[in-house]
Structure 1
Amino acid sequence: MLKSLQDLRSATEKYPAISPPHPCPCEHCATLTPPQEPPETPLQRLFNIMTRSEEEDAYSPFKDFISNLDRTKLLGLASLLTSDPDYFLEIARNKNGSNRLQKLLGKSDDVDNLLCAAILYRFLHVMTNKNASFVATRGLRVFAGKKKEFMCEELIHNALHLARDQHGCVALNEMLTDLDHPYYRNQLLDVVAYNALWLSNDASGNFVVQHVLKLKDPRATRNVALSLRGNCIDLSFKKYGSYIVERLLEADESVAVVVMELLESDEDRLMRLARSEFGNFVVSKALRVTQKRMTRVDLFRGLVHKLMPSLNFLRKSRGSNIAVFLESVYQY
């Protein structure tokens, strides 16, 4: 193993040595023995190579370094990197370290086995860190067979925790986009869909629900709509909740769920929604999408009929855009 570090030493030797300062001529200083720094360990040397600045890397590119390693030395490098979970995580959390770990992924099956095991061992810590999560998402793209299955199972098991984390939700969305395994992809979409109401009311989780709807998967969209049925008006009063409801209005599988809830609400509640800061956009969108869909003409007429008696109140509120639309329809 230590023999594989000879190449690591040669990389550090490219940097010019710093000459020691001239000794002080005073006799007192000459009697003092300066403290000796402990010798650099192989792990420290490797850490410095993995996390060095972009300027240093330009001087001695990491991609050139690993391209000169044969299979055995490359495996030795990966073994050293993954020998300690905390050490691996510290490198992965570093921006430069994350980039260089990503370059190692896909080089060989043996190397991928070690890196996959290291990611899985500290999965939540990796996925909830901005830089480290890039290593995991890259891994999901290049892993195949059992490695991909293990990654998917861990992802599904921790999906709700990740969805409610500031960085975890971003990583989860990336994996939802890239996951090309139909069985696990459907399972992951189901976890989000069945917990859509809970996630929609969460500061980070709502972005995951929005992302699932952006994927335009008919089955997932229908399941999200069913989970949110009866709660669409409450969500529409909130900024990010209104974004989710607007996404539901865009899909054939879910538009009726939202509009029927608007039609079944009492007039006072609908009017408060139409005049609210975020709800007015939802009501306006409901009118426009049902007008364009010939198969939803009954829903469109029902909304117009329910809103027209309050036209004057809408004109003097945030719902003025709705009033303008209703007037154009009435004149037509």
Structure 2
Amino acid sequence: MAITDSPFSMSTMFNALHQIRFSKGISGAIPPPGFSPRASSSAVTNTRLDQLFNIMTSGEGGMAQFKEMISKFDRTELQLLVSLLTSHSDYFVEIVRNKSGSRRVQKLLGISDDVDAFFYAAILRRFLNIMNDKYASYVAIRAMVVFDQEKKYAMYEHILHHALDIACDQHGCIALNEIITDADDSFYRNLLLDVVAQNALFLSNDASGNFVVQHVLKLCDLRCTHNVAVSLRGHCVDLSFKRYGSYIVEKLLDAEVSMAMVVMELLECEGDRLMRLARNEFGNFVVVKALKATQKMSRVDLFGGLVHKLTPFLHLLRRSHGSNIANILEPTI
């Protein structure tokens, strides 16, 4: 293919921008769906927009060429490019949902306040769609790093408002975890941790939300860990019977600030419920962790209580998922 035909050639980029912006009867704004003052103008517009779309989304191998072209644009040309990319929500979302499109938009973020203003408005217009997409979410994450304080605070407010919807999405939960980890403002970081802690029970029972609870517990923030434990008080045994719920309870047992609350709930189990938990494919790991944690933290009272409740079922534990528990109990008899 000749260089002039390449979607990454400088002439193609300038030609696309020039013709979209200055073609007779066509404004710089992308028309909304269904808008067609003249069929011929609409057809030309669509052709030019398709050309720009291809420039932004074609193959991963074009990133180096794209970066080179952007480096040669002046301020006006960059503003024109970004204004076109963001002037219609559906068009912008389709670009950032593309892997290459997302990466190229990320390269444009932070170049100048003028450019960021266009992206800021575009992201907020379709905030939840962008946050809950595999590739588009990285645009929002990058924006949180490079935006000025005013824009960043507005982004935080949107995240707080939509936190549960984001946390319960398979891609959104990953984006939310990254934003919590990288939050450079302690006030908003604590607010995000509080939202997770206050809704820990709901999130712990959600297929995606549980990963957010696990993540905040890994941060070893004592206040947040305590608050999560308080929210889950009375529900730890139920969670321990489930794969991901058991992971959350194990993390609570790792922290001294929450360990006793979980163990007390285990000791309050009535009948043979603790034994059934100890023999469960997921729950046995929780009971093992409880025994080891109480020993490590020198809580002889709690360790002794667990041993007392579990020892009568030693013969059943040996022939089940609870064999590791039996190995811990036998030396104490």
State TM-score, norm by structure 2.
0.86
* Structure 1: tracts of 5 or more residues without a match: 12-36
Of the three residues 27, 43, 48, the one matched with 2:49 is: 43
Mean Cα displacement is larger for which, 39-48 or 233-242? 39-48
Amino acid of the residue matched to residue 318 of structure 2? R
Q: Give the Å deviation of 1:8.
A: 2.6
Q: Say which SS state the counterpart of residue 62 (structure 1) adopts.
A: helix
- The answer as to whether partners of 2:240 and 2:283 remain within 8 angstroms in 1 is yes
Question: Could you tell me which amino acid in structure 2 is paired with residue 8 of structure 1?
Answer: F
Whether the 8 Å contact between 2:13 and 2:55 is mirrored in structure 1 is no
Match of 1:254 among 251, 258, 263: 258
RMSD (Å), alpha carbons:
2.0
Given the alignment of the two structures, is residue 162 of structure 1 paired with residue 166 of structure 2, yes or no? Answer: yes
Say whether residues 1:245 and 2:249 are aligned partners. Answer: yes
The residue correspondences of 1:1-332 to structure 2 (distance < 5 A) are 7-9=13-15, 41-57=47-63, 61-294=65-298, 296-330=299-333
- In structure 2, stretches of 5+ residues that fail to align are 1-9, 18-42
Letter in 1 for 2:119: L
Question: Contact conserved, 1:280 with 1:318, CA < 8 A, in 2?
Answer: yes
For residues 40 and 276 of structure 1, the distance between their equivalents in structure 2, rounded to whole angstroms, comes to 60
Q: Which has the larger radius of gyration?
A: 1
Aligned to 2:29: none
1:55 is displaced (CA, Å) by 3.2
Runs of 4+, deviation exceeding 6 Å = none
User: 8 Å contact 1:5–1:42 — kept in the other structure?
Assistant: no
Q: Distance in 2 between matches of 1:10 and 1:113?
A: 22
Give distance in 2, aligned partners of 1:230 and 1:10: 62
Q: Deviations over 1:82-130 (max 9, x none)?
A: 1111111010011110000000111111111111111111001101110
> Is contact 1:230-1:261 (8 Å) kept?
yes
When normalised by structure 1's length, the TM-score is: 0.86
Deviation of the 1:40 alpha carbon: 6.3
Contact (CA 8 Å) 2:86, 2:118: kept in 1 or not?
yes
Tell me how far apart the structure 1 counterparts of residues 162 and 319 of structure 2 sit (CA, whole Å): 48
Offset at residue 74 of structure 1 (A): 1.3
Q: Against the structure 1 CA distance between its residues 39 and 323, is the aligned structure 2 distance closer, same or farther, given a 3 Å change threshold?
A: closer
Question: Which amino acid is 1:47 matched to?
Answer: F
Displacement of 1:253:
1.3
User: In 2, Cα distance between the equivalents of 1:264 and 1:91?
Assistant: 55
Is residue 237–residue 276 contact of structure 1 (8 Å, CA) maintained in 2?
A: yes
Give the Cα separation in 2 of the matches to 1:45 and 1:10. Answer: 6
Shift of 1:41: 4.1
Q: Is the 8 A contact 1:179 1:185 kept in 2?
A: yes
Q: 1:72 to 1:39 in 2, by over 3 A?
A: closer
Percent of residue pairs bearing the same amino acid type: 63
CA distance change for structure 1 residues 265 and 40 in 2, over 3 Å: closer, same or farther? Answer: closer
CA distance in 1, matches of 2:312, 2:300: 20
